[in-house]
Amino acid sequence: MTTTSTPRVPFNRLLLTGAAGGLGKVLRERLRPYANVLRLSDIAALAPATDDREEVVLCDLADKHAVHQLVEGVDAILHFGGVSVERPFEEILGANICGVFHIYEAARRHGVKRVIFASSNHVIGFYQQDEHLDASSARRPDGYYGLSKSYGEDMASFYFDRYGIETVSIRIGSSFPEPQNRRMMHTWLSFDDLTHLLEQSLYTPNVGHTVVYGMSDNKDVWWDNRFASHLGFSARDSSEVFREKVEAQPMPAADDPARIYQGGAFVAAGPFGD
């Protein structure tokens, strides 16, 4: 992981929502150097605080009053909370759409000026895999989950323009210990690179609303981060070391969305309830 030449001055208190999720569990330890106190929140049960540098708060993002209490006293928010897979719209609505509104309103009321929003590659999932995109490319969400992340990016833009709350929206590709399939060879984001990207997103001044694609230094990429160069994010890891293992898997059929669309199987999920 890229390190800075001088130690970062920790924030007094950082809030991490979605702390019981897959990435939340990873970030719980990795974010400690950047905060005197790390406030951890989720609707699901969390392991108790390990020491006085952690605060554990159960919170339903759909509950406006609870979110406003959650945000009080924090200096910056890393918003990873919400439903993270494609689901019926009604399940997405509370946490991902109402929840992101509650987070930004609470930030406004409590004077929080920096949010890191865990967006997703699924806001552009309907582009085909032979297309190359940057942050200026029109969004093409691939489902209700992608729509909710697109809405979150609009919320971030609005709250910067109107209230001066700065956001880095990270369109996370696929952040796992290693890429799980051929599609993830393009979209993989190592945990070390994610941590470095979060550090740069927290400390870089004057980000306005910056959209950055969260990917490692993979050999073949679909995304161009030229409009986020001011963040100083330089990925160090690459999916290439896993190529032999991944390419030992059977090749998907020619009409499989995993071979056609950047969003992979998400473009074909649902409809729900028919």
Measured distance CA(173)–CA(188) in Å, rounded: 6
Identify the pLDDT of residue 274.
74
Residue 5 pLDDT greater than 90, yes or no: no
- The runs of H, that is alpha helices, within the chain are 22-30, 64-71, 89-92, 99-110, 144-163, 182-187, 191-203, 243-247, 257-260
Residue 2 pLDDT greater than 80, yes or no: no
Identify the pLDDT of residue 1.
46
Identify the pLDDT of residue 6.
67
What average pLDDT is seen over the chain?
A: 96
Question: Residue 24 — pLDDT band, cuts 50, 70, 90?
Answer: very high
CB burial of residue 202 (10 Å; 0-12, 13-18, 19+): buried
Identify the pLDDT of residue 243.
98
* Known catalytic residue at 203: no
- Which three-class secondary structure state does DSSP give residue 56? strand
Q: Residue 267 gets which letter from DSSP?
A: G
pLDDT in tens, 219-274: 999 999 999 999 999 999 999 999 999 999 999 999 999 999 999 999 999 888 77
pTM of the model: 0.96
Give, in order, the Cα–Cα distances in Å from 256 to each of 145, 150, 192, 224: 20, 25, 31, 25
Can you name the CATH fold of 11-268? Rossmann fold (3.40.50)
pLDDT in tens, 57-97: 999 999 999 999 999 999 999 999 999 999 999 999 999 99
Q: Which of 34, 127, 145, 159 is catalytic?
A: 145
pLDDT in tens, 139-156: 999 999 999 999 999 999
In the chain, the percentage of residues whose pLDDT exceeds 90 is 96
pLDDT in tens, 192-217: 999 999 999 999 999 999 999 999 99
Residue 185 pLDDT greater than 80, yes or no: yes
CB 179 within 8 A of CB 248: no
